[in-house]
Amino acid sequence: MKSYKEGDALWSEITGTKVSEDSLFFWSLGQEGYAYRTPNSPLIMVDPYLSNWVYELIGDPWTRSYPPVVDPAKLQGTDYVLLTHHHEDHMDRLTLTAMAEHTGAKFITPKAHVGLMESWGIPGDRLIPATHQEPIRLDCVEIVPYAAMHEQLETDTEGNHLYLSYLLRADGIVWFHGGDTIGFPEQEEWLKPETVDVAFLPINGRDYARNRQGIAGNMNYREAVDLAIAIEADLLVPMHIGMFPHNEENPAFLLDYLYRQETRLKHHILLPGELFVYRKSR
């Protein structure tokens, strides 16, 4: 996979583009990383993986398929970074410590991982703990964390969930970033009343071979489409593709499956560094 745009050109676009009314502008940073802006919102990122940290820790076969689209030390203007869980391609120590040093961003992290991030040298006054179904207000943005099931629902000894998804609401637009998760009944029940406009869902799936390697799985393309239809999302954006070939499924399968459904669900597969403009029309 190749990036659509990268480096200073990408960052200038993210920070300098005027967001039109009734719109959500979002950029893919690769894997499950996204940058989001609405007309009045701060600049919010989720799960930026902008280093080669996984390979440095584990080695083969965890080599990136493409370089980071931006340098994490050059992300001035980022206001908030949401983190879904402590897997290195989501809570990337090298990216986060560089951002902590070079930007004024604050970090929203599962409460279970606050101590870990403090141990990395990120000051406690820049950490905002996230807890299942406890809303967080950031300027004009409301964020509701929900438990995610990365094959299992897991908590620490105090009952804090290790894996989270986030529902975000700003300027009349609602979007859901699933993080790493499979589908489960409560998830659909939580999301159905929320009128989700854009659903960002993983589609790399799970199987016996990857489980043997200790790789926790996610939704596959069928489950992602089925959930997006069930919650009546307007647009589905599949995630967790293109970074690690040994831990993904072909996104073309999603297109084939979606084509066979009787649905008005829209979809878009982004290249790293690509901007998508979602305009609310319902």
Q: What is the pTM of this model?
A: 0.94
| Pairwise CA distance, residues 1 & 69, whole Å | 12
Domain that holds residue 237: 7-279
Per residue in 66-89, pLDDT tens? 999 999 999 999 999 999 999 888
| Pairwise CA distance, residues 52 & 257, whole Å | 33
Residue 1 lies in a domain: no
Q: Are residues 29 and 67 in contact, defined by beta-carbon separation less than 8 angstroms?
A: no
Residue 163 lies in a domain: yes
Contacts of 257 (CB under 8 A, 6+ apart): 221, 222, 225
| Pairwise CA distance, residues 102 & 124, whole Å | 16
Q: What is the pLDDT of residue 208?
A: 65
Residue 226 lies in a domain: yes
Residue 187 lies in a domain: yes
Average pLDDT rounded to a whole number, residues 209-234? 87
CATH number of the domain residue 108 falls in: 3.60.15.10
Residue 132 lies in a domain: yes
- Cis peptide bond upstream of 193, omega within 30: no
Q: Is 181 exposed, middle or buried (0-12, 13-18, 19+ CB in 10 A)?
A: buried
Residue 164 lies in a domain: yes
Closest by CA to 201, choosing from 144, 149, 261, is 149
Residue 107 lies in a domain: yes
More confident residue, 211 or 172: 172
Q: Is 31 exposed, middle or buried (0-12, 13-18, 19+ CB in 10 A)?
A: buried
For the chain, the domain total comes to 1
| Angle, in degrees to the nearest 10, between helices 252-259 and 221-230 | 50
Per residue in 94-140, pLDDT tens? 999 999 999 999 999 999 999 999 999 999 999 999 999 999 999 99
Residue 2 lies in a domain: no
The sign of the dihedral angle between the CA atoms of 192, 237, 45, 216 is positive
Q: Are residues 79 and 44 in contact, defined by beta-carbon separation less than 8 angstroms?
A: yes
Q: What is the pLDDT of residue 242?
A: 80
Q: Is 245 exposed, middle or buried (0-12, 13-18, 19+ CB in 10 A)?
A: exposed
| Pairwise CA distance, residues 33 & 47, whole Å | 5
| Pairwise CA distance, residues 47 & 163, whole Å | 12
